[in-house]
Structure formats: C-alpha cells, structure tokens
Structure 1
Amino acid sequence: MKKAFIGVSMTALTLLSFNTLANSCEGFGPQTPRDIDQLHGENKRVFSLAPPASEMNLCNIHFHKNAEHKAKDFSVFAGNGKYGGYQCNATSSLTEAELRAPKGKVCKNVKPGDTIEVHWVHSSCDVTPGKGLGSCLSNECANPDLRVETQVFLVVNDEDALDFNDLSYDGNIVNGYHQAKYIPQTTGKPVEFLGSTTGPSYNDKQCSPLQVTWSVRPACAKVDINSLAQWCEDNVFEEDHAHGVRQLVTDPKLLAPIK
C-alpha cells in the first residue's frame, strides 16, 4: 500500500481516494473530522503524535467550504451535502459592508459570509511544498508522520481582516524547515488529537487509512475575501477553489480520545 502512495497526484490531501481499499470502517484507525469539544473516543488503534509543526516541513495548504470540524464557535449546521459542515456562529452578525460582494468570482465558489476551514499540512519527509498529498511524500519517504494545523475563518469583505497571503508559504524557511509565514495564534489553544484525512470521499462506511495528527483552533477568525481571491489566482499549491467536506464523525468507535 505504501508504494501506491508515491504516484498519487492530488488536488488536496483530504481528497485522497482509497475506494479499492476502504470498503468498510471495521479495523480502521481514528477518523476525522469531529466535534473538538467532545473528548470521548473508543478507537483502539494508537499511533504516536507527529512532531510539532515547527519541526516538520509544510507540504500543502488547502481549504474547505464550511468547517469540517465542529466547536462552540463554529456550530451552525450547514447541511449534509458536499459543502455542508458548520458555519461560524458570528455569520449572522456580519455588517452590510463585510458582506459586500467583490468584483468577479472568488476561488470559483466563495463569497462574503462564507465559512472556510484551512489546512496547513506538514510532513516529516524532506519535501518541498506543492500540490496535494504527493508533495508530502517522496520515493525515499513513503510513510511520513503527518500533522495538519487547522483554522476556521469567516470570509468578509474587509481589508482590515487577516490577509490570506500572510498565511501562505512564499518560500519561507525557518531553522531548515519549510513553514507557513503565519498561522493564527489568538484563536485559542489548539485541540490536538489523532485522526485521519478528511474530504467528501469518506464517510462512516468508507474510512481513510492514513494516520494524521490534528491541531484544531477552537475559535473563528476573519479573513479578507480580496486577499483570498489573490491567493487562489497564484499559489505554489495550485489551489483555486474550496474543497468539499466530510460529514462529522460521531461514532465513538471511530474517534480517538482527546487527552
């Protein structure tokens, strides 16, 4: 199975398809996404937490339309469809100015007032950031530790909100590791847990076999839609749209305990 990973070309880590391998969830390790306020989990598969992101290489950045995870600050249910998931609670209190439509389409399917969940994917391999999961692996490193740093954003038309370009990569290297220029540090202590890859290819009957350490910040932040539009037009990850979501995993047998 490891050899099969090497040739995979992906648009996002969470869209990796193992349809021929994952016909049921029996025997699979802990799954993602989850309600990060619910600590209980009964999955018996255990693996070590990945190193801190600062000691790994950033290999991919992508985002999903609506939050895949759920927390007190993003708990408005957005439905069961491909772009279901959860919205930031503050969505209903946005101003008319924040909701003003920008010129043209943004990332094909994003508008002011939308919620997005951003994934900064890190690998223990000696790799360079790029497109999809293929950038997190190499011929010499087929089974890396993976860590996903996660932040949920409320998209607004406001130049005073966070600039998405400041959250990107742009060749930033710190202590020899490829790193994002900035990941929000003011949205609460990240909730760390063991899980899997996500995305609409998976559900409670078809689980992901990959082992991932997750670090999910519990509060929403606002990001300027104009900067997001600029990023989608030109980034090393070749990301130009918001991806779909995997519905929330609630079966305790598919969740790791949060300690």
Structure 2
Amino acid sequence: MIRPALVLLPVLAALSLPAPALAGAEPLCEGFGPQTPRDISAKSGANARLFSLAPPASRLNLCNIHFHVNAEHKGPGFSVSAGEGEHGGWRCNETAELTAQELEDPLHGHGACHGLKPGDTVEVHWVHTSCDGGPGAGLGACANANCVNPQLRVETQVFLAVNDPAALDFSQFDYASGDPASAALSQPRALPTGFGEPVVFAGSTTGPSYSQSSCSPYQVTWSVRPWCARVDIMTLHRWCAENTFEEDHAHGVRQLVTAPALLSPME
C-alpha cells in the first residue's frame, strides 16, 4: 500500500522485537497491531490489538492514490502466485485466458506508467484520511502538523490491465478535482462497484520494507474487493502521465502475512 520510505507520524518509533523461533524460521515481530496484506478469504486471526475502524470513505478525505504491479492481497479472483520478493504477489485468475490482442502493447514499452504492460495485475489503493487538506504525493498528504494521528482507510481494487478500449476507463476513479460535489471533502469521482462486496478488516500499511519479522506500526482500515476488474491499459498510462499524486510507476509488494498472531479476526 503506502510508501514505506515516507514517515507518516515522525513521533512514533517502531521497535521490532522478534519472538523465539526455531532455527531457520522467520521470527515474528511482537507487540504490533494486525498486519496487512492478507488472504481475504481466510477470516481467522489471533491479534488482540483493537482500534476503531475508520468511517466510510465518503466521510473522509482522499489523500493519495497509488498502485502495485501484482496484488499484495490474495483473494478469490486473484490467487495465482507471482512468486516472492518485492515484485511477487498475486495475479488475476483469468490472466492466462487473455487473447493476443488484449496482450498487445500499443506503446511498445514506452508508456507513462513505467514498466506496466498488458496482462499485468494491478492493485490500486485509494487512501483516505480523517485529516483536513487536499490530496497529494505519498502519505505526507494524509497527515499534517495539526493532525498527526489520523484515521486511515484504504479502498482497494485489483485490476487486470488489458489492451481493450471497451474495458474500464481508470479516469472515472481519479480524484474529482474541481467537481462541485467534492467541495466539502476530497473524493474520487467514483470507486469501483460490481466486483464483490468489499472485505473490511483492521490492518496496517504495506510495502516491501515490512514483513512478518518487521511490522508496520500504523493502523489502517482496509476495504478490499474480492474480484478482478479489467481496465484499459491506455487509461492507466494517461493517468500516470498527469495526476495529482505524482505517480508514474508501480510500487513493490509486501509478502502475504499468514501468521495468525499478526492478523485480525474477521466476522
């Protein structure tokens, strides 16, 4: 999700205290709240840290939009392994069924979203905050000197990028700059619908600098749609060419959190 290199709350210092483990096993960080990403089909979790879930996105300010190539979360519609490491994660189930036309790269590797090509799975994060202020680059736009402990909510959709003008236009999900309807709160034009009831749970920030042995201290309410949506890759490139958030490339993924002690229980 959120860029790990940016410090959201400078006054917090996170200490990773490894639990005793067998030789060769990954030690788990202790004392942290529930972590993300997770398999949204698995509801079990044993992390006892509680915090109030953030209000709906419509009652918060959109502060950032960014994306990852390959999904950080695993879900019913994106469960094909893309391997491990910063560029691992999960692919949409129908990736192998794409046609040659859908996989043709109209920009031959020179699109504004650096490295993005047809057939890639993309997980998009719309980050919302309880702080005032307009959207901008990174998590620095989600907090300020007058609001250092915001409630954060991330609306999430996994897309399959295809060369198909009939697929979704990403611009319909961009920041609604100048839209009178968004005058009170910063909001996207719309959030994706029709791709399953979002799975809502308590978690953390993500990104490749975190793992099960190096946890994120930040508290985030997640809302993850369980099925992939096809998006026209040209509309993603147009967004990368000019957007409020200064985004022009995909961010790395944090590997799936599977330890029950690091996951919140879901109803």
TM-score category of the 2 structures, normalised to the smaller one: over 0.9
> What is the letter of the counterpart of residue 236 of structure 2?
L
Q: Does residue 241 in structure 1 map to residue 249 in structure 2?
A: yes
Q: Does residue 179 in structure 1 map to residue 170 in structure 2?
A: no
1:17–1:23 distance in 2 versus 1, CA, 3 Å: farther
Q: Does residue 68 in structure 1 map to residue 72 in structure 2?
A: yes
Q: Does residue 134 in structure 1 map to residue 123 in structure 2?
A: no
What CA distance in whole angstroms lies between the structure 1 residues aligned with 2:152 and 2:81?
28
Residue among 186, 205, 209 paired with 2:213? 205
CA contact (8 A) 2:154 2:223 kept: yes
What CA distance in whole angstroms lies between the structure 2 residues aligned with 1:240 and 1:22?
32
CA contact (8 A) 1:22 1:208 kept: no
> What is the letter of the counterpart of residue 159 of structure 1?
P
Tell me, what secondary structure is at the counterpart of 1:45? coil
| Structure 1 residue 23: Cα displacement | 2.9
Q: Does residue 13 in structure 1 map to residue 2 in structure 2?
A: yes
What CA distance in whole angstroms lies between the structure 2 residues aligned with 1:76 and 1:26?
30
Tell me, what secondary structure is at the counterpart of 1:177? coil
What CA distance in whole angstroms lies between the structure 1 residues aligned with 2:15 and 2:72?
20
Tell me, what secondary structure is at the counterpart of 1:227? helix
Q: Which runs of 5+ in 1 are unaligned?
A: 1-11
The answer for the alignment partner of 1:232 in structure 2 is 240
Residue pairs, 1:80-229, within 5 angstroms: 80-103=84-107, 104-106=109-111, 107-171=113-177, 172=179, 173-174=181-182, 176-229=184-237
Largest Rg, 1 or 2: 2
| Structure 1 residue 211: Cα displacement | 0.1
What CA distance in whole angstroms lies between the structure 2 residues aligned with 1:16 and 1:145?
20
TM-score of the two chains, using structure 1 as the length reference: 0.92
Moved over 6 A (4+): none
TM-score of the two chains, using structure 2 as the length reference: 0.90
Residue pairs, 1:20-99, within 5 angstroms: 21-24=14-17, 25-99=29-103
> Residue deviations 1:49-92, cap 9 Å, x none?
10000000000000001000001210000010211000000001
What CA distance in whole angstroms lies between the structure 2 residues aligned with 1:213 and 1:59?
15
Percent identity of equivalent pairs? 59
> Residue deviations 1:36-61, cap 9 Å, x none?
00000000100001000000000000
CA contact (8 A) 1:85 1:248 kept: yes
Tell me, what secondary structure is at the counterpart of 1:222? strand
CA contact (8 A) 1:42 1:252 kept: yes
What CA distance in whole angstroms lies between the structure 1 residues aligned with 2:189 and 2:173?
6
* RMSD (Å), alpha carbons: 1.5
Tell me, what secondary structure is at the counterpart of 2:201? strand
What CA distance in whole angstroms lies between the structure 1 residues aligned with 2:3 and 2:42?
22
